[in-house]
Amino acid sequence: MLSRIFSSLCITLLFFASPSIGRSSENAEKKFSLSRCIEIALANSTSARKAENTLKLQGDDVLRNYGNFLPRLSTSASYSPYTLSRTYTPAGTAITNDKTKSRSVDLTVTTSLNLFNGFSDYASLQAALNKEDAAEYTLSRALQAIAFDVTQAYYQILLNQELLAIARENLLLAQNQLTLTDRQFQIGLKSMVDRDQQQADVAESSLAVIKAETRMQKSLLEMVRRIQIDPLTKFSLEPLPESLKNPLLVKPNPDDLVALAFQQRSDLKGKAFEVKASKWQVTQSRASFYPSLDVTFNVSTGGIEYLHQSTDDLSYPPLSDQLANTIGYSLALNLSWTIFDGFQTRYNVESAKINKINLQYDYEDLKNNILIDIYEAAGEYNSALSQIETAKISLKAASSAFDGIKRKYELGASNFIELSSARSSLFSARSNLSQAVYNLALQKSVLDFASGNTARP
């Protein structure tokens, strides 16, 4: 009996334990690299999808404009299975009421081709081709922007991880120092004021850890927002290679980067194609000033079959013979020219010209902004280089000063204020070095993005 109960209990435990095992495997923490984060962001980004849809629509617009050079073809058919008509017909000195029943078929095929419409079709095609090129470059820049945004968020998480680790280590030092101070207080080597001050320092260090943890959590959520995954997903990030953390040790030349940007920036190329498209749209708007010439070819046939006639004087051939023997053809040239349209064409031309001018302004503004962005990014990069060297020197000095003052404090030759100030300087120096290292990597990414020297994802 006891063995059965034990067996049933084991089965029950296994039954309830198995779902938890499944859930734990599902909720296992994932580890993402920078390239993987960018890949996920590109797959989930709605802005990238919108840019792809715009490019697809522009491709369909090009096909539609190619179709304007092809002849139009239309057909129509009419079949009346039953028709009843009554008429009065004079017959000698009398008038008779004749009744006729019939069915009929009519077939028509029409094709037309525009020979000239003021170059509207050609201008529309050229505008569509330039817009398609512009949409392709816009998509490329959108993908680069997504990759750059994810890279910034990635660097921020890694920086916050280091700052959190430094804050926790600083808290551990403060707690160890509090333990030592408390023991020295117990044997009379330290005063109660020293112990209270050390307790306050531990509390302040704990607050710094809480703030670092909050920044860390916020940066993780910002990454979730950018790559658009389930917010409940647990993940961690792989560290950056040393080559990315120290990308360049020489100062960049802004003039060379500006020249490179003018050649490679996808958004600048896209804006240039938009300007070209707007010029063709001006030509398209002017087309209404000219006449339009079309050629039309028409084929038609028809027949009627009488089901009943009051008089049998007329006998029509069968319906199939009528359809075969009554085929008619027509060829026509149609010329149309709008003499006056209430200044509508003039308005369309002026509107297209203004649109072209505005797009040219946007193009020039973008070039100026690129130049300014590159000079700013180059200055920030040079500053980051200098900050790293300064931070290394500061860390070395702060570490040496803290070790010396700590030994003096333990021997009673230094007070708490000096020790606290030295540890604060050490904590600040370590944080500044970490920030400078990641800031250098980030500024290299900013330079690449601003100059367009980024491989298309």
Q: What is the pLDDT of residues 323-344, one digit of tens each?
A: 888 899 999 999 999 999 999 9
Lookup: tokens for 17: 């334990």
Contacts of residue 393, Cβ cutoff 8 Å, sequence gap at least 6: none
Q: Is the pLDDT of residue 14 over 70?
A: no
Rg (CA), the chain: 42
Q: Is the pLDDT of residue 13 over 70?
A: no
pLDDT for 260-310, tens place per residue? 999 999 999 999 999 999 999 999 999 999 999 999 999 999 888 877 666
Q: Is the pLDDT of residue 4 over 90?
A: no
pLDDT of residue 25: 43
Q: Is the pLDDT of residue 233 over 80?
A: yes
pLDDT of residue 395: 82
Backbone angles phi, psi at 153, to 5 degrees: -65, -35
pLDDT of residue 439: 84
CATH fold of the domain at 32-70+117-291+343-451: Outer membrane efflux proteins (OEP) (1.20.1600)
Nearest to 169 by CA among 197, 135, 208, 215: 208
Under 8 Å between Cβ of 83 and 103: yes
- Summary mean pLDDT of the chain: 84
Contacts of residue 348, Cβ cutoff 8 Å, sequence gap at least 6: 285, 288
Lookup: tokens for 77: 């058919």
The CA distance from 379 to 381, in Å, is 5
Burial 95-125 (b: 16+ CB within 10 A, else e): eeeeebebebbbbeeeeeebeebbebbbbbb
pLDDT for 37-87, tens place per residue? 999 999 998 888 999 999 999 999 999 999 999 999 999 999 998 888 877
pLDDT of residue 10: 42
Looking at per-residue confidence, does 65 or 406 come out higher? 65
Backbone angles phi, psi at 331, to 5 degrees: -130, 130
pLDDT of residue 82: 84
pLDDT of residue 137: 94
pLDDT for 246-272, tens place per residue? 555 678 889 999 999 999 999 999 999
Mean pLDDT calculated for residue range 372-396 = 87
Q: What are the residue ranges spanned by the domains of the chain?
A: 32-70+117-291+343-451, 74-115+292-336
